[in-house]
Amino acid sequence: RMWSDQSDDHADIYKAWGGSKGIPLQVTNQSGEKSIVRKPRFSENLKFMFSYQFGYMYFRYFMWNFSGRQNDTQGTGGAINGNWITGIRFLDEPRTGTYDLPEDLRKDPSRNVYYMLPFLLGLIGMFFHLNTDNRNWFNVMLLFIMTGLAIVFYLNQYPNQPRERDYAYAGSFYFYAVWIGLGVLALFRGISLFTGERVAAPLAGIACFLAVPLIMGMQNWDDHDRSGRYLARDVAFNYLESCAPNSILFTNGDNDTFPLWYAQEVEGKRKDIRVCNLMLLNTDWYIEQMKQKMYESDPLPVSLPIKKYYDGINNQVFIVEKTKDPVDIKTIIDWILSENPATKVRISANEILDIIPTKTIRIPVDAAKVIESGTVRQEDSSKIVPYIDIKLKGNSILKSQLIILDILAHNDWKRPIYYVTGYHNDAFGLEEYFQLEGLAYRLIPVRSENKSWVDYGRIDTDILYENIMKKFVWGGANDRNVYIDYNHNRTLTVVRARLQYAKLAKALAAEGKKDKALEVLDRCMDVLPPENVKYDPYYPDLIEAYFAAGNNEKALKLTNDYCSYNYKHLDYYLSQSQYIISSAEYEIQSAIQYTSKVSTACMTYGARNLAEEIDKKLETYYRDYLKTRIPEDQLPVSD
């Protein structure tokens, strides 16, 4: 059952769920070096199967539907997210923490409790069915197992799946619902033994209605009501509206791309933009599509013929350094196109491979052309670099990267090129030449300083202000009657929605446009209010931006609200058992880290007393947290 080596952390998680002893085996790696590894024992494989695959990845989902659900945050095996609950205190508290939750957790619409009533009624129906019609009971049981545990056994899922998989077992839950229906008949039969059928029928019907469909409807309505929520669509709109006309927008995968396709294909939004999925750019059929005109979008400038990227051809192009000097990007593509044997490497009598002859590829920049195309403003002409060098890492590039090089070579700064994000292989380390223009980053020949993998990209305040303030919409995120669930909150964090407002406001404040900066910040608080959109790692940036823009009163109010929120969560988590505290490590550390960031902002902008108060409070929390991890006599001594 333990098989995956797709991720470095899979082995550790296997050990956590199944055990860590194993059978020692000597293995020899590709370099001929010998080492000892531990092969999981049969008993450990079984433990992993029953604890994780059957328990966490099936029974937990089963109980979500028939007992109750802690919240809709994706679980990873800990005590505070994604567990099943009952609503019965003594059953829940040892597993998920005490019931004196902070208000936002206690009133979370996705916290649903059914007191196990649907589960118990289903058990009654199952045994009633077995006693009255065992042949058909066997059929239902077989379907229940084959659409549930049998799928779990067959899939043999590795730990920490990228998303919850409850949808895969919906059939199994349907068949259990058959027994819930039969449970009503069982109660009717039981009550009729004492009261007669005329009285038993309404009693059983009313009791079961109150116990199952009514309570489930009342508990689930608020977090299943999607009316007024158009955030997924509107985030796609915002991506498209971040781009200049006739742009090329590189996206990373399905989640980035599908909403954009919907916006273009169904709602007809910004059909002049060519959305290019970098994951699909490894396939020949998709590259062929990119070479065709689509709606108002011109073909991508791919010069390579299909024989250079046909299925199985140039899936991986090796780098064989013929020179240490930079090579012009068009020369690189010509090298791939060439039939000259000197541009190839022969690996067998029948196989010759294309190669990249250098690790430094140079993109030349024609200053006049980039100004004429609007890539760079006239007033920034002195900042234009004469060329951009791509530094290739590793020993090869993938097909998608080869096609991107072809596009960069032959686009020649004519069409705007955008990336959804940076810091991935297909971005080629070009982040210092990115310009943030909304939710997407435009490649421009002006170098900027990147502060981190999160905070990067030059800002043109005029463009960013125009897009964020006049074009962006957020699909009901500011409506208290619209439920913004875990996935939508996570999406807003992933696209760094609040951070983009904060970065624009800071840039405007640095230009002396503080009134405009406050306008941006107030808009952010209006469209993404913390009452509806949960606090995220970028909320402290908004507080810092308010300080920078000169509205200390608003900054201090937000600081107090934010700190109060985190204090309540820290008080709760640190009052729990060691098991709960260990499960909440990320939440505890994040609360301390981001509250500390707010303290730094207060100190920087003159709110020294508040900063010292926050620091003192955080020091107490941090010591309390350390006490749960190390002996008290080993704790660091306070100043």
Q: Is the dihedral of CA 200, 206, 207, 212 positive or negative?
A: positive
Contact of 72 with 55, CB cutoff 8 Å: no
Question: How many CB atoms are closer than 10 A to CB 409?
Answer: 21
pLDDT average, residue stretch 504-531? 97
* SS3 assignment, position 39: strand
Contact of 355 with 319, CB cutoff 8 Å: yes
Beta bridge partners of 435: 442, 458
Residue 633: pLDDT band by 50, 70, 90 thresholds?
low
Residue 492: pLDDT band by 50, 70, 90 thresholds?
very high
Res 417: pLDDT: 97
Token pair 């593509």 is at which residue?
333
Beta bridge partners of 575: none
Residue 114 has which token pair? 């059914």
Q: How much helix, strand and coil, in percent to the nearest 5, is found in the chain? A: 55, 10, 35
Amino acid occupying residue 455: D
- Express each pLDDT in 82-94 by its tens digit: 999 999 999 999 9
How far apart CA 406 and CA 412 sit, in angstroms, is 10
Percentage of residues in the chain having pLDDT higher than 90 = 82
Range scoring the smallest mean pLDDT among 273-282, 356-365, 442-451, 459-468: 442-451
Q: Spell out the domain ranges in the chain.
A: 47-224, 231-465, 551-639
The values of phi and psi at residue 344, to 5°, are -125, 175
pLDDT at 32 over 90: no
C-alpha distances in angstroms, 194 versus 200, 203, 431, 574?
8, 12, 77, 52
- Express each pLDDT in 195-206 by its tens digit: 888 999 999 999
The reported pTM is: 0.91
* SS3 assignment, position 42: helix
pLDDT at 639 over 60: no
Res 158: pLDDT: 86
Question: How many CB atoms are closer than 10 A to CB 423?
Answer: 13
Percentage of residues in the chain having pLDDT higher than 70 = 98
Residue 347: pLDDT band by 50, 70, 90 thresholds?
confident
pLDDT at 228 over 70: yes
Q: Mean pLDDT of all residues in the chain?
A: 93
Contact of 377 with 460, CB cutoff 8 Å: yes
Res 307: pLDDT: 94
Question: How many CB atoms are closer than 10 A to CB 572?
Answer: 19
Provide the b/e sequence for 246-281 (b: ≥16 CB within 10 Å). Answer: ebbbbbbeeebbebbeebbeeeebbebbbbbbbebb
Q: What does 513-526 look like in DSSP terms, one character per residue?
A: -HHHHHHHHHHHHH
Contact of 392 with 360, CB cutoff 8 Å: yes
Residue 315 has which token pair? 């899936």
Beta strands 458-459 and 434-436 are: parallel
Residues with Cβ within 8 Å of 407's Cβ and at least 6 positions away in sequence, in order, are 248, 300, 301, 302, 417
Question: How many CB atoms are closer than 10 A to CB 68?
Answer: 26
DSSP state of 384: B
Contact of 388 with 430, CB cutoff 8 Å: yes
Contact of 242 with 467, CB cutoff 8 Å: yes
pLDDT at 451 over 90: no
DSSP state of 307: G
How far apart CA 218 and CA 455 sit, in angstroms, is 43
How far apart CA 181 and CA 401 sit, in angstroms, is 56
C-alpha distances in angstroms, 287 versus 257, 297, 398, 537?
16, 15, 14, 37
**Cα angle for residues 561, 564, 567 (degrees, 5° grid):** 150
- Express each pLDDT in 369-411 by its tens digit: 999 999 999 999 999 999 999 999 989 999 999 999 999 999 9
Token pair 């608020």 is at which residue?
222
**Cα angle for residues 463, 465, 471 (degrees, 5° grid):** 90
Contact of 584 with 592, CB cutoff 8 Å: no
Res 6: pLDDT: 67
Res 635: pLDDT: 66
Residue 185 has which token pair? 């008949």
C-alpha distances in angstroms, 103 versus 99, 109, 581, 593?
11, 12, 19, 22
How far apart CA 503 and CA 505 sit, in angstroms, is 5
How far apart CA 266 and CA 621 sit, in angstroms, is 51
- Which of 395, 464, 400, 445 has its CA nearest to residue 427? 400
How far apart CA 19 and CA 50 sit, in angstroms, is 12
Res 362: pLDDT: 96
Residue 254: pLDDT band by 50, 70, 90 thresholds?
confident
* SS3 assignment, position 354: strand
- Express each pLDDT in 77-130 by its tens digit: 899 999 999 999 999 999 999 999 999 999 999 999 999 999 999 999 999 999
**Cα angle for residues 402, 404, 405 (degrees, 5° grid):** 65
Range scoring the smallest mean pLDDT among 8-12, 31-35, 242-246, 378-382: 8-12
Beta bridge partners of 446: 384
pLDDT average, residue stretch 330-349? 91
Res 27: pLDDT: 79
Task: Name the residue with higher pLDDT: 21 or 364.
Answer: 364
